[in-house]
Structure 1
């Protein structure tokens, strides 16, 4: 379980194609706090640590990524040199600063528009039709592992949905969102509460 509050930005240092994809990721973490078998959200994808090392502030850890995971997430995040938002799993007693995030990506979205709005950046993201019922203005959504508030929603004739977000300077600086532009893909996870409410309504209507 995660909160969508990014701890650090990491980099894919090595990619090895085995039966699954094996990545070595570096980042400003403390390896003493990373347990083998622990979960770390990497740009919104919950992955299991199979090895780790390095020193405090210059840690590295290794994860295996299945073909199922790579097929359902933004493709460029699995390339050598890619930057990833990192968040260790929530511990009992930790502050819940964002919202409840599972690290299970629901769909891949695309940045349709990126424009300055005051000191912030306004992103308009295109999401597939299956996510439309779960995205609401002032609701929460996880974008590349970052907990964000939806500002606007525009349903499209083909069922696709466009939703707007404001990325404040701090968020742009401490996550990878400040590095992205129009046409880039994003991992999207809808709010867990919205998912259950939709299921309850579907059962009542049946």
Structure 2
């Protein structure tokens, strides 16, 4: 579990089959084998580490769901260590289980902020609500102006310049994780509605 507050930028040093080596500094502090680190919003398990890097195993399912398949040696990535009990939660609860990817469709400077618009599949847009949370490449961000197939977020200068967001341009593929609460609520209400309908059907047909 993460909070969506990026701790530092790392760099992909080496990709050897499914094993990746990523350079880091801050996230290596107090880290041990088996710990979780968010890499562009993807929860990955540390398998080995040294003074300036760590390695993780990346599965085919992970690459299919995320933008990791587009990364190469030298690519810059957002990094965050998993939360500890008692930590402050500066963003929102982020699982590190990427739902899908989206594409940057527009980037503009607006006052002291950077407004970025993303195009997203309609099946996930139903979870995107005005002023709700969304994790983009592991960054906890607030939704602005959601539409049928797109939404925007406003980056403060610090977040924009100290994350992979500074490299965003038209067509950039990003990882998206919608708020898990939205999916739980939908699942619960759908099952409850179906149960109610089934009971009414049984009652009307003399089975109850």
1:42 aligns with 2:39: yes
For structure 1, the 5+ residue unaligned runs are: 156-160
1:176 aligns with 2:164: yes
1:164 aligns with 2:152: yes
Structure 1 or 2, whichever has the larger Rg, is 2
- Post-superposition CA distance 1:64-83 (Å, at most 9, x none): 10111111111455311111
Q: Flag the structure with higher strand content.
A: 1
Q: Which residue of 2 aligns with 1:10?
A: 10
Q: Which residue of 2 aligns with 1:158?
A: none
Contact 1:76 1:82 (8 Å CA) reproduced: no
Task: State the 1:196 CA deviation.
Answer: 1.1
Instruction: Count residues with an aligned counterpart.
Output: 194
Contact 1:77 1:83 (8 Å CA) reproduced: no
TM-score, normalised via structure 1 length:
0.90
RMSD (Å), alpha carbons: 1.3
Which deviates more, 30-39 or 186-195?
30-39
Distance 1:76 1:67 in 2: 9
Task: State the 1:32 CA deviation.
Answer: 4.7
For structure 2, the 5+ residue unaligned runs are: 195-208
1:24 aligns with 2:16: no
Q: Flag the structure with higher helix content.
A: 2
Q: Which residue of 1 aligns with 2:90?
A: 97
Task: State the 1:204 CA deviation.
Answer: 3.2
Distance 1:110 1:124 in 2: 8
TM-score, normalised via structure 2 length:
0.89
